[in-house]
Amino acid sequence: METQNTPVNLFERFNNWLHESISVKLFSIGVLVLILLLPSAWIQGLMDERQTRAEEVINEITEKWSGSQTLSGPILVIPYLVKKKVDHGNDGIEIQEHTENYFTMPETLHINGEVTPTVLHRGIFDAAVYTSSLDVQATFTEPDFKSRAIDETRVHWNDAYMIFAITDLRGISDNPVFTVGGINKSTEPSGSIGVSIQKFWDGQTNVFHKNDRDASANMLSDYLSNGIVAKLGWHSSEDFKSETLIKLKVKGSTRLLFIPTGKTTTVQVSGPWGNPSFEGGFLPITREVTPENFTASWKILHYNRPLPQSWTEENVKLSGAEFGVKLLIPVDQYQKSIRTAKYGHLLIILTFVALFLVEVIKKIRIHPFQYILLAAALIMYYTLLLSFAEQVGYTLAYVIASLSTVVLVGLYSFSFLKSKKLVLLFTGLLLVFYTFIFVIVMQQDFSLLIGSVGLFLIIAVLMYVSRNINWYKEN
H-assigned helices in 364-393: 368-392
Q: What is the CA radius of gyration of the chain?
A: 36
Are residue 270 and residue 177 in the same domain, yes or no? yes
pLDDT above 70 covers a percentage of the chain that reads: 70
Q: Is the pLDDT of residue 75 over 50?
A: yes
Rounded to whole angstroms, how far apart are CA atoms 275 and 290?
9
- The per-residue pLDDT for 36 is 63
More confident residue, 321 or 220: 321
Mean pLDDT of 238-243: 86
Tell me if 402 is assigned to some domain.
yes
* pLDDT at residue 204 greater than cutoff 50: no
Report yes or no on 61 lying in a domain. no
What percent of the chain is modeled with pLDDT above 90? Answer: 10
Query: Does 317 score more than 70 pLDDT?
Result: yes
- Segment 41-55 mean pLDDT: 65
* Residue 33 pLDDT class (50, 70, 90 cuts): low
pLDDT at residue 346 in the model: 73
> Residue 205 falls within a domain, yes or no?
yes
Across all residues in the chain, what is the average pLDDT?
Answer: 75
- Segment 443-456 shows an average pLDDT of 71
- Weakest mean pLDDT among 269-283, 291-305, 380-394: 380-394
Lowest mean pLDDT among 111-115, 128-132, 434-438, 446-450: 446-450
- pLDDT tier for residue 215 given thresholds of 50, 70 and 90: very low
297 and 150 share a domain?
A: yes
Q: Based on the fold, state whether residues 42 and 99 are members of the same structural domain.
A: no
User: Residue 475: inside a domain, yes or no?
Assistant: no
* 343 and 280 housed in the same domain: no
Q: Does 93 share its domain with 236?
A: yes
Number of domains in the chain: 2
DSSP letter string over 117-186? EEEEEETTEEEEEEEEEEEEEEE-PPP--GGGT--GGGB-GGG-EEEEEES-GGGB-S--EEEETTEEE-
Band of the pLDDT at 134, cuts 50, 70, 90?
Answer: very high
Q: Over range 382-386, report the average pLDDT.
A: 80
Is there a single domain that holds both residue 101 and residue 211? yes
Q: Is residue 60 part of a domain?
A: no
- Are 357 and 310 found together in one domain? no
248 & 373 share domain: no
pLDDT band at 47 (very low <50, low <70, confident <90, very high): low
pLDDT value of residue 194: 47
Asked if residue 474 is part of any domain, the answer here is no
Assess if residue 471 is contained within a domain.
no
The residue count of the chain comes to 475
Q: DSSP letters of 263-313?
A: SEEEEEEEES-S-EEEEES---SEEEE-SS-EEEEEEEETTTSS--SEESS
Mean pLDDT (whole number) for 396-422: 84
Answer with the one of 327, 350, 376 that is the final residue of a domain: 327
Least confident of 54-58, 118-122, 223-227, 425-429: 223-227
Q: How far is the C-alpha of 217 from the C-alpha of 142, rounded, in Å? A: 25
Q: What is the mean pLDDT of residues 188-207?
A: 45
Q: What is the mean pLDDT of residues 392-400?
A: 83
Residues 284 and 146 in one domain: yes
pLDDT value, residue 205: 31
Q: What's the pLDDT score for residue 173?
A: 80
Structural domain containing residue 266: 67-327
| Pairwise CA distance, residues 241 & 180, whole Å | 7
| pLDDT at site 267 | 94
Q: Name the more confident of 224 and 87.
A: 87
Single residue among 327, 353, 378 that ends a domain in this structure = 327
For the whole model, what pTM was predicted? Answer: 0.64
Domain boundary among 327, 353, 373: 327
What's the whole-number mean pLDDT along residues 53-81? 80
Does 129 lie in the same domain as 213?
yes
Average pLDDT over residues 174-182: 86
pLDDT at 39: 60
**Residue 129 confidence (pLDDT) above 60:** yes
Residue 110, pLDDT above cutoff 90: yes
What is the structure's pLDDT at 37? 62
Express each pLDDT in 332-368 by its tens digit. Answer: 666 677 677 777 677 777 777 777 777 777 777 777 7
* Residue 88 and residue 156 share a domain: yes
The pLDDT-based confidence of 135 (bands split at 50, 70, 90) is: very high
Give CA separation, 61 vs 65, 122, 383, in Å: 7, 8, 26
Structural domain includes residue 59: no
Q: Tell whether 396 and 291 lie within a shared domain.
A: no
Confidence band of 28 (pLDDT split at 50, 70, 90): low
- Place 213 in a pLDDT band, splitting at 50, 70 and 90: very low
- pLDDT for 332 equals 61
Phi, psi of 132 (to 5 degrees): -135, 145
Q: Which range in 240-249, 378-387, 394-403, 438-447 is most confidently predicted, on average pLDDT? A: 240-249
Alpha-carbon span 450 to 456, nearest angstrom: 10
